[in-house]
Structure 1
Amino acid sequence: MKLQRKNGLRAAALGALAVSGALVLTGCGSDDNSGGSTTSGEKTTAASNVACDDAQGKLLAAGSSAQKNAMDLWVKEYMAACTGVEVNYKSSSSGEGIVNFNQGRVAFAGSDSALKPEEVEESKKVCTGGQGINLPMVGGPIALGYNLSGVDQLNLDAPTIAKIFNGKIKNWNDPAIAKLNEGTELPDKPIQAFHRSEDSGTTQNLGKYLGATAEADWPYEAEKKWPAPGGQAASGSSGVAAQVKQVDGAIGYFELSYATSQSIPTVSIDTGASAPVAATSENASKAIAAAKIKGTGKDLALELDYATTAEGAYPMVLVTYEVVCDTGNKAETLGTLKSFLTYTASDEGQKVLTDHGYAPIPQEINSKVRETIAGLK
């Protein structure tokens, strides 16, 4: 069955969602400790060009909450267009999402990191005749939010960021910070650095950035578990942002819309370009545009250039994947899976990302995502 609906209230509905406190972008750990799930809510809007095709019944998914805000928007519009279809995305963590996928509990998983070889091998047990593949769907900047009375603009570089988060720089008026912020009066105040308490794809992407740009000061493997000594832990990006908001002298990392929704100032990064680069969707897009596909076959895992010095390119970025079976998807959910992901990868679906603090996947890569979705079996 093909069903297409148009709704002229789309722009207004999205605008309302943008300021809705319920749709704060969350990080890769579990920000929803109640164990609840994310569904569309009221069916009051419809994307203007959704092909429902053979969509029917319920589609279950789980994983990274870095894409929760995008999923909330996508699910709401998709379900408004496709009557009788339910898409249920549980925002938990990248790791939990992959475990659920490889145990056959969900049709797709969201993950901020591409599948590891052992996870691909495990996926073959549920992807009959195929395996799990990575479809890049959501991009965006990892912001460094800070709370420092009297300081409205703050510049840091990769070595300084590394030293702050591993406890080697302990005070805000440290000479290394002062050198990057000439003319700014920095207080003689201890730094309170906050990191994620649970395994997190956001933590792993931060580690990839620091490993590529400050290896001498960040000698840790880029893993989802926080590796450095010291600092203070908080649960989920929401927990880290809450601590930064409340504690004078604090700094932490989380997805950009936490900062924008709570008016938390963010660090500009000195990358070696002519001017420090602010954490914005536009600047993150410039960095993601340089990504290369490193996956083989239908797998579209990306290799990001964290060490870019391109003008205006914000290097601390993440890309969230939807993990699906290339072959062997369950027949009862295949139609809905393809219909929903076709919408999220569409021009309209990606435009939603731009409107809400994310960075769309570059067109050259996204065209391959769409082709892969169309060929899912």
Structure 2
Amino acid sequence: MKLQRKNRRALALGALAVSGALALTACGSDDTGGTNGAGGDSTIASTGSITCDDAKGQLLADGSSAQKNAIDAWVKQFSRACGVQINYKGGGSGAGVTAFTQGQVAFAGTDSPLKPEEVAASQKVCTDGRGIGLPMLGGPIAVGYNLPGVDDLILDAPTLAKIFDSRITNWNDPAIKRLNPDADLPDLKIQAFHRSDESGTTDNFTKYLKAAAPDDWKYSGGKAWQAQGGQAAPQSSGLAQQVRQTNGAIGYFELSYAKGMSTVAIDTGASAPVKATVENASRAIADAKIVGTGKDLSLELNYTTKAENAYPVVLVTYEVVCDKGNKSDTLPATKAFLRYIAGEEGQSLLARNDYAPIPEEIIGKVRTTIEGLS
């Protein structure tokens, strides 16, 4: 049986190599106006260089909806090569970490480093080990809006803080006019949308507001939305869908969910406002520092950067796994999948799906850590 399984893998890899350029489409779980749940398509050519080793069976995973489009694209290529079925729910960072600490999934995705209490909970399911975060992708949190006739909009951190705290409620408010003197801003109520579920995207977005506008954002932050007012929707895809269909709406979500939508340029204090692009987010992420302990590689992001063309509203998504004590029936497939997505082939997919690869000096440490998982 083992020889047959290896032969099947060899045939699958050979078929990929012969085909030369198999199209890979990232398929999100929710329809936001396109084929990938983000309003568009993304394709890459498969090189057939995935190492399956002893990967087999099925993996259950859950967590960050921010990375759902990337995970779907990765899974399609990995499953085609190795025959492993991976079911990633994308129910949000909070749901993913909870599922992991309850032993329900092989790995989880989260857009925030594990908290001490989450690490403690993980020790109950990681025999002689603990849950660790492996940074796997980054990207901009785009602030999308639906304002007919206004294709270019500039906002700064204090103005964003007041909008999402329901203290600026109309699009022709003087604070918005000051930043956009040439825009034809309508006399229209602002419909500010936030996440209804616990979300690492919310955590990072509010960390930015707290760091860059401390006098205007007084909330402590976290995965759960704390400000009063506004409207709510679940997951990044749901939030983007509400902004698309609501006149006067504004919301925050990963760039891959903002295809075909106008997004805000941020006045950071640099010489020019900065747009939400993969390249601009990469400049900000490159300033991150590893602050995790042990094998945990959690990062500290600089939300107040004023560097030219550095987009400050960014997140990094971590795959959470046991450093020791992974279940023996899922460990081979988990390591093979993580090895692929952290490798050059997996990371090269990201920019084509509006995500930012992890800087080389950090992803190199991730690769080393993956090989030591047990």
* TM-score by shorter chain over 0.5: yes
Kindly state the Cα deviation for residue 171 of structure 1 after the two structures are TM-superposed: 1.3
Match of 1:32 in 2: none
Task: Give the conservation status (yes or no) of the 8 Å contact 2:106–2:330.
Answer: yes
Kindly state the Cα deviation for residue 89 of structure 1 after the two structures are TM-superposed: 1.5
Letter in 1 for 2:167: K
Trace 1:251-262 onto structure 2 (pairs within 5 A): 251-260=250-259
1:323-347 Cα distance to aligned partner (Å, 9 max, x none)? 0000111111111111110000011
Task: Classify the secondary structure of the residue corresponding to 2:73.
Answer: helix
Task: Give the conservation status (yes or no) of the 8 Å contact 1:111–1:323.
Answer: yes
Of residues 274, 291, 298, the one that matches 1:301 is 298
Q: How far, CA to CA, are the matches of 1:137 and 1:188 in structure 2?
A: 43
Task: Give the conservation status (yes or no) of the 8 Å contact 2:132–2:296.
Answer: yes
Task: Classify the secondary structure of the residue corresponding to 2:23.
Answer: helix
Match of 1:13 in 2: 23
Return closer, same or farther for 1:127/1:17 CA change in 2, 3 Å cut-off: closer
Kindly state the Cα deviation for residue 25 of structure 1 after the two structures are TM-superposed: 4.6
Counting aligned pairs with the same residue, the percent is 62
Q: How far, CA to CA, are the matches of 1:20 and 1:151 in structure 2?
A: 21
Return closer, same or farther for 1:57/1:20 CA change in 2, 3 Å cut-off: farther
Please say if 1:23 is aligned against 2:36: yes
Please say if 1:265 is aligned against 2:253: no
Trace 1:151-170 onto structure 2 (pairs within 5 A): 151-170=150-169
Return closer, same or farther for 1:95/1:287 CA change in 2, 3 Å cut-off: same
Of residues 338, 343, 353, the one that matches 2:340 is 343
Match of 2:189 in 1: 190
Task: Give the conservation status (yes or no) of the 8 Å contact 1:47–1:81.
Answer: no
Match of 2:327 in 1: 330
Task: Give the conservation status (yes or no) of the 8 Å contact 1:128–1:329.
Answer: yes
Kindly state the Cα deviation for residue 271 of structure 1 after the two structures are TM-superposed: 0.5
Please say if 1:364 is aligned against 2:374: no
Kindly state the Cα deviation for residue 71 of structure 1 after the two structures are TM-superposed: 0.8
Q: Which moved more, 1:9-18 or 1:107-116?
A: 9-18
Match of 1:39 in 2: none
Trace 1:52-91 onto structure 2 (pairs within 5 A): 52-83=52-83, 85-91=84-90
Please say if 1:218 is aligned against 2:217: yes
Q: What is the root-mean-square deviation in Å for CA atoms of aligned residues? A: 2.1
Q: How far, CA to CA, are the matches of 2:322 and 2:185 in structure 1?
A: 52
Q: How far, CA to CA, are the matches of 1:213 and 1:8 in structure 2?
A: 51
Q: How far, CA to CA, are the matches of 2:19 and 2:182 in structure 1?
A: 48
Q: How far, CA to CA, are the matches of 1:88 and 1:47 in structure 2?
A: 23
1:276-313 Cα distance to aligned partner (Å, 9 max, x none)? 00011111111111110010111000000000111111
Letter in 1 for 2:125: V
Kindly state the Cα deviation for residue 174 of structure 1 after the two structures are TM-superposed: 1.2
Task: Classify the secondary structure of the residue corresponding to 2:294.
Answer: coil
Match of 2:104 in 1: 105
Letter in 2 for 1:235: P
Q: How far, CA to CA, are the matches of 1:181 and 1:292 in structure 2?
A: 35
Match of 1:281 in 2: 278
Return closer, same or farther for 1:17/1:119 CA change in 2, 3 Å cut-off: closer
Match of 2:42 in 1: none
Task: Give the conservation status (yes or no) of the 8 Å contact 1:46–1:80.
Answer: no
Letter in 1 for 2:62: A
Q: How far, CA to CA, are the matches of 1:376 and 1:241 in structure 2?
A: 36
Letter in 2 for 1:79: S
Letter in 2 for 1:82: C
Task: Give the conservation status (yes or no) of the 8 Å contact 2:94–2:198.
Answer: yes
Task: Give the conservation status (yes or no) of the 8 Å contact 1:145–1:265.
Answer: yes
Match of 2:314 in 1: 317
Task: Give the conservation status (yes or no) of the 8 Å contact 2:69–2:256.
Answer: no
Return closer, same or farther for 1:372/1:264 CA change in 2, 3 Å cut-off: same
Letter in 1 for 2:226: P
Kindly state the Cα deviation for residue 15 of structure 1 after the two structures are TM-superposed: 6.2
Match of 1:131 in 2: 130
Q: How far, CA to CA, are the matches of 1:351 and 1:342 in structure 2?
A: 13
Task: Give the conservation status (yes or no) of the 8 Å contact 1:47–1:78.
Answer: no
Task: Classify the secondary structure of the residue corresponding to 1:327.
Answer: coil
Task: Give the conservation status (yes or no) of the 8 Å contact 2:24–2:76.
Answer: no
Task: Classify the secondary structure of the residue corresponding to 1:145.
Answer: strand
Task: Give the conservation status (yes or no) of the 8 Å contact 1:54–1:336.
Answer: yes
Kindly state the Cα deviation for residue 48 of structure 1 after the two structures are TM-superposed: 2.2
Q: How far, CA to CA, are the matches of 1:129 and 1:242 in structure 2?
A: 43
What is the total number of aligned residue pairs between the two structures?
357
Return closer, same or farther for 1:16/1:294 CA change in 2, 3 Å cut-off: closer
TM-score (norm 1): 0.90
Task: Classify the secondary structure of the residue corresponding to 2:330.
Answer: helix
Q: How far, CA to CA, are the matches of 1:199 and 1:316 in structure 2?
A: 18
Structure 2 unaligned blocks of 5 or more: 40-44
Q: Which moved more, 1:266-275 or 1:8-17?
A: 8-17
